[in-house]
Amino acid sequence: MIQRIIRNIWAVGRNYQAHANEMGQPVPSTPMIFLKAGSAATMSPEVRLYQGSKDIHHEVEIVLRFGTKADSNGRLEFDAAAIGLDLTARDLQAELKAKSHPWTLAKSFRDSLPVSAMVAIPPAVPHFKFELSVNGETRQRGDTRDMIFDFETLRTYVFDNFPVEPGDLLLTGTPEGVARLKTDDRAEASFESGLGHRVRAEWIFR
């Protein structure tokens, strides 16, 4: 069950060059932001795969939480980090893109953000190394130093353009290696920060 209410989930697309390449898409010149419903997040170790898609992909991402404190410019700072999966209905996303329609159906279905517990981080967000394995096989490895838009750029951009509130989450993009999840797959994701923070989470997909 979700342990607390999450209102807004701001997410950035194509923030790693190698993932943009594997999708055959250009890298944006400003952050490309989309929303997932707050109620799409789940902290349950059992994740229900959305039945409206035949091609749900995992996108492992560093998740940051906006806290209650603001910097000297009045912008909320991050206060916690987690690891999560920006689950994406790739078949529906391709159809929606072809029609120039919004991505909501492909990105914001029930349980589309399995997310770990949060760990407190300082406002000067450290870098993270993170990875995802499925059924014991490594699928994705990332290092946030490879992000096209860094945490500070994303924080400023999102805060200045959207009604960000304390407790909102930011999904910071996925590295290469996205692939399909199937019923009964078991996934394990983890990160380690440059300051020694560690998080690990496991999910089974039903």
Closest CB to Mg ion belongs to which residue? 86
168 binds Mg ion (CB under 5 A): no
Give 14 or 155: the residue with its C-beta nearer to Mg ion.
14
174 binds Mg ion (CB under 5 A): yes
Minimum gap (Å) between residue 128 Cβ and Mg ion: 15
Minimum gap (Å) between residue 171 Cβ and Mg ion: 6
Minimum gap (Å) between residue 24 Cβ and Mg ion: 16
Minimum gap (Å) between residue 105 Cβ and Mg ion: 15
Minimum gap (Å) between residue 13 Cβ and Mg ion: 6
- Binder to Mg ion among 42, 50, 53, 59 (CB under 5 A)? 59
- Distance in angstroms (rounded) separating the CA atoms of residues 48 and 44: 10
86 binds Mg ion (CB under 5 A): yes
DSSP strand pairing (32-37 vs 8-13): antiparallel
Binding mask 92-121 for Mg ion (x = CB under 5 A): ------------------------------
Inter-residue long-range contacts of 157-162, CB under 8 Å, 24+ positions, other chains counted: 157/30, 157/31, 157/33, 158/10, 158/31, 158/33, 159/66, 159/75, 159/76, 160/75, 161/33, 162/8, 162/10, 162/33
List of residues contacting Mg ion (CB under 5 A):
59, 86, 174
